[in-house]
Amino acid sequence: MKPGFYGDLDVRWLTVSELKSRGLDPEKSCAVLLASFYYQTEGGLLITVPVGYITDFASVPRIFWSIFPPFDPYYGAPAVIHDFGYSTQGTFLCGASFNRAAVDRLFLDAMVVQDTERWRRDVIYRAVRLFGGSTWSAKHTRAKDWLT
């Protein structure tokens, strides 16, 4: 099977009160998946992000939003896969376990599949490699904490 995304990325944006009630930063824009979302890897793994998962898409500092908006259609879907990988410390529902570098590479590969411009995906990939370590270490304790 060819690598790619399967199913629609169907989300609902959370309100400030919903973010606060879940202990999330009300300054961040987060959305909840209304349906499970799937990505087939080159190696044939089916990565599933379950319904109810909460994502902030790409964690881009606001100062860069004019160049790298967090909800860009070219890397928004790959960012959801990446978020979930970080949330679970690389343990996916299909049973596969990835280290941080492999989750970051999965993000890069998904951006290629999504036809993200090469310069854009290279900058994003380098940013997650350089700055994602603290997030990987401290990110969501478990994915269940990010489920509705």
Please state the domain count of the chain.
Answer: 1
Contact (CB, 8 A) for 47 and 83: no
Q: For the residues 81-97, what does the mean pLDDT come to?
A: 91
Higher pLDDT, 1 or 95: 95
User: Does residue 84 sit in helix, strand or coil?
Assistant: helix
What is d(CA 24, CA 139) in angstroms, rounded to the nearest whole number? 12
> pLDDT (tens digit, 9 = 90+) per residue, 99-130?
999 999 999 999 999 999 999 999 999 999 99
Whether pTM > 0.85 for this model: the answer is yes
CA-CA distance, 120 to 117, in Å (whole number)? 5
Confidence (pLDDT) at 146: 55
Query: Residue 63: pLDDT band by 50, 70, 90 thresholds?
Result: confident
With beta carbons less than 8 A apart as the criterion, state whether 112 and 4 touch: no
In terms of residue numbers, what domain contains 87?
Answer: 4-146
DSSP letter assigned to residue 144: G
